[in-house]
């Protein structure tokens, strides 16, 4: 029997802003239900790669495939339908500031799933309860802490029951306890619903605790220089990857 089709596949991707190349020749596959880590030093283009994978930035070259279907070759309407399969937790949570937490979560349900206001509200309450925010439905994003905003962002990202959840630096700006709690939540999500998770991070505890597979992007060479299980990458042939994962010096 052959290998099952990858859930997500990045094929020879080159990312550029105008004539400035950010990263080139990125290629990797993500299996269904896997937690995949995109890591690398600051400014290497990790978040930019995520933006290319979720349809926000068009690649200069290459393609992103979901279950073998190309994202960028598709027309705009098809690409919009792709979005129903994805959930994204942005670095700053990106909650809509003029809406309450409940409205933030129920909006995609009402607009994309065509649920009535009552149904959308019930599902939104469930999602908020899943991330430990029951009772905060009527709060505005400005009224809660950074950690709670991240969790509310996760509740919104989960609203449409996506097949793939993307996390952009989930631990950024969080204290160790909140960060740990979010990691546990990510793990629980994968275990309970089999969601494929793509994690953009450079937090070593999260990489080792959560990551099934990882890719390392290098800012200087502007390409990926290692790929594999995080524990294996500790013994990578690339000194920079070893140093990064051991938090050592080059």
Partner 1 sequence: MSAPAPATDALSRLQIARDSQGAIRVRLSGRWTLADGLPSTDSVARELESAPAGTRLVFEAAGLETWDSALVSFLFSAAGLAAARGSAVDTSALPEGARRLLDLSLAVPARVMPQTPKDDALTARVGEVALRAWRTAGDALDFLGETVVALGAFLRGRARFRRVDLMHALESAGVGALGIVALINLLIGAVLAFVGAVQLQQFGASIYVANLVAIGITRELGALMTGIVMAGRTGASFAAVLGTMTVNEEVDALRTMGLKPVEFLVLPRVLATSLMLPALVAYADVLGVLGGTFVGVALLDLGAVEYLRATQSSLELRHVVIGLVKSVAFGVVVALTGCYYGVRCGRSAAAVGEATTRAVVMGIVLVVVVDAVFTVLLHLLHL
Q: Shortest gap between Cβ of 97 and partner 1 (angstroms)?
A: 7
Work out which of 21, 60, 74, 94 binds partner 1, going by CB under 8 A. 94
Please identify, using beta-carbon distances, which residue of 83 and 115 lies nearer to partner 1.
Answer: 83
What the block records as the tokens of 183 is 């990691």
Work out which of 15, 49, 95, 189 binds partner 1, going by CB under 8 A. 95
Position 54 contacts partner 1 (CB under 8 A):
yes
Please identify, using beta-carbon distances, which residue of 112 and 242 lies nearer to partner 1.
Answer: 112
Angle at 187 between CA 186 and CA 192, to 5 degrees: 100
Q: Shortest gap between Cβ of 193 and partner 1 (angstroms)?
A: 19
Position 86 contacts partner 1 (CB under 8 A):
yes
User: Positive or negative CA dihedral for 114, 118, 123, 127?
Assistant: positive
Separation CA 125–CA 88 (nearest Å): 19
16-24: list long-range contacts, CB under 8 Å, 24+ apart: 16/60, 21/60, 21/222, 22/48, 22/222, 23/48, 23/49, 23/217, 23/222, 23/223, 23/224, 24/61, 24/222, 24/223
- What mask, x for binding partner 1 by CB under 8 A, covers residues 149 to 188? -------x---x----------------------------
Work out which of 62, 70, 92, 228 binds partner 1, going by CB under 8 A. 92
Q: Shortest gap between Cβ of 103 and partner 1 (angstroms)?
A: 9
Task: Check: CB of residue 238 under 8 Å from CB of residue 226.
Answer: yes
The partner residues of 163 in beta bridges, in order of sequence, read none
Torsion of CA 15, 54, 64, 111, to 10 degrees: -150
Work out which of 6, 40, 108, 211 binds partner 1, going by CB under 8 A. 108
Subset of 219-248 contacting partner 1 (CB under 8 A): none
Q: Shortest gap between Cβ of 214 and partner 1 (angstroms)?
A: 23
Please identify, using beta-carbon distances, which residue of 28 and 90 lies nearer to partner 1.
Answer: 90
Separation CA 99–CA 237 (nearest Å): 49
Residues in contact with partner 1 by the rule CB under 8 A: 51, 54-56, 80-81, 83-84, 86-88, 90-92, 94-98, 107-108, 111-112, 156, 160
């Amino acid at each position: 029997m052959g290998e099952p089709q990858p859930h997500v596949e990045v094929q020879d991707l080159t990312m550029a802003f105008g004539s400035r190349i950010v990263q080139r020749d990125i290629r990797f596959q993500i299996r269904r239900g896997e937690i995949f880590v995109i890591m690398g030093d600051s400014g290497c283009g990790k978040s930019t790669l995520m933006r290319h994978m979720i349809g926000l930035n068009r690649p200069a070259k290459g393609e992103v495939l979901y279950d073998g279907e190309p994202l960028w070759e598709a027309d705009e309407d098809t690409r919009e339908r792709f979005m129903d399969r994805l959930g994204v937790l942005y670095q700053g949570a990106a909650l809509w500031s003029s809406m309450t937490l409940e409205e933030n979560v129920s909006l995609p349900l009402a607009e994309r799933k065509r649920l009535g206001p009552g149904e959308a509200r019930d599902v939104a309450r469930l999602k908020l309860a899943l991330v430990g925010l029951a009772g905060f439905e009527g709060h505005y994003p400005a009224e809660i802490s950074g950690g709670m905003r991240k969790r509310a962002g996760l509740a919104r990202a989960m609203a449409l029951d996506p097949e793939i959840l993307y996390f952009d630096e989930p631990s950024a700006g969080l204290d160790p306890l909140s960060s740990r709690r979010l990691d546990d939540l990510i793990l629980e999500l994968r275990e309970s619903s089999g969601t494929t998770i793509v994690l953009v991070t450079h937090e070593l505890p999260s990489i080792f605790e959560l990551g099934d597979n990882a890719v390392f992007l290098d800012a200087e060479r502007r390409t990926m220089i290692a790929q594999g299980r995080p524990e294996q990458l500790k013994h990578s042939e690339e000194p920079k990857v070893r140093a990064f994962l051991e938090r050592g010096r080059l």
